[in-house]
Amino acid sequence: MTKNLQKGSKKLLNAWAFYDWANSVYSLVIASAIFPIFYGALTIIKDEQGTIINDTVPFLGFEFNNDTLISYVTAAAFLVVSILSPFLSGIADYVGNKKVFMKFFCYLGAFSCIGLFWFNMEYLWFGLLCYFLALIGFWASLVFYNSYLPDIAFKEQQDAISAKGYSMGYIGSVILLVLCLAMILMYETFGFESENLPTRLSFVLTGIWWIGFSQYTYYYLPEGNKKEKLTGDVLLNGFKELISIWVKIKADKALRRYLAAFFVYSMAVQTIMLVATYFGIEELDWGDTDSTVGLIVSILLIQLVAVLGAVITSKSSARFGNINTLIVLNVIWICICAFAYTITTPNEFYFIAAFVGLVMGGIQSLSRSTYSKYIPSDTKDTASYFSFYDVSEKIGIVIGMLSYGYVAQITGSIRYAILFFILFFVVGVFLLLRIPRKKSK
């Protein structure tokens, strides 16, 4: 059953934003914190002094660097999302049932997170499959979730509610991460024999949290903009729906140029966020500091500071405009990459993590709401519009992850890839400067 609420109503806006609270635990526990450390522990062999002596992984008859393998699987999953989401979005807009698609991918992602409980080297293919499907479920559900923004909020509300969604996601994911860390670090207190079982249970809790809290969002979100009945030629009609939106995007210079700029700078932002933990594992000299605890502290720092970043960015965009604020954020990212190339100690990593959190929360929430503002006010095909936003982001991540994996494979160092991403931010600034300001963005 769905509750029918008016566009712009506080309860509807909060229900929409609450999905960030539900699904962001994937971003933190699986993509950023516990799973990368768990994967590293499984795939890296160290000597008694903690020096890496082997980080290759046999898979499908080939030997892969462990970073390269996970980056290729990640890139493949994003490629699948990039191919699927436009067609599914076109179908959802044609039939008017985008909440059905959002639910499907939500449950696919959540149950795949639960499947990571059985991740081990003996059945590596199953663990990587669960990781692959969890990523697809998370990002594909976001296509339909993001597309609700212009449906549920007026333009003057979109920056603030987008920032609120990200803020809720950061806070909610930190709560679950702290609970999981308590189980892992104090496993004896909870009656566990080692860290292994509570670590695996963290993946189960992530899936349960995601499914459980998303129900509040589903109760209040409308089904979609009902248009046509489901017929046998729905795929063809969905494709036609997509083509019509693409024609409109090409005719809108401001929207077209913003999408190009977003594609370039988002490529670097999303890739850096995905590889940050792996960078900390392999490129820092932790000395006597427990690297696992240090990485978790830095990730928590990023999440908490990101809440502040999202709020500050929302207020800044209201005063200086969305595009001007995005330009400043890109410049800050350039400085972060340059400094990250030089860091070697945990304290330097914590310092840069604070700045990453500040601009991460801002650039994600503002990018989403800025794109939403460029969508014509009277459009009903919001899922199709956001599929192009999503494809720009995902194809960018595919390129970014493949670049990262290739550089890591041939150089043995992630630093050169981080330095290379400066170029994308520079181009992003150039493209943002070319966007017409007639719509006061």
63 backbone dihedrals φ, ψ, rounded to 5°: -105, 125
| CA dihedral for 404, 278, 267, 418, sign (positive or negative) | negative
Token reading at 210: 């995601």
Q: What is the pLDDT of residue 441?
A: 46
Over 90: is that where the pLDDT of 33 sits? no
Helices within 96-233 (DSSP H only): 98-115, 124-147, 149-152, 155-185, 196-220
Give the CA angle between residues 2, 5, 11 to the nearest 5°: 100
Percent above pLDDT 70 for the chain: 82
Q: What is the pLDDT of residue 407?
A: 73
Which residue is associated with the tokens 């594609």? Answer: 263
Which residue is associated with the tokens 């609120």? Answer: 164
Q: What is the pLDDT of residue 95?
A: 60
Q: What is the pLDDT of residues 211-225, one digit of tens each?
A: 999 999 999 988 765
Q: Which residue has the higher pLDDT, 323 or 6?
A: 323
Strand partners, 76: none
Over 70: is that where the pLDDT of 382 sits? no
How many whole angstroms from its chain centre is CA 206? 15
3-state secondary structure of 133: helix
Q: Which domains does the chain have, with CATH numbers?
A: 10-45+63-433 (1.20.1250.20)
The answer to whether residues 332 and 326 touch, using CB atoms and an 8 Å cutoff, is no
Q: What is the pLDDT of residue 440?
A: 40
Model pTM above 0.85: no
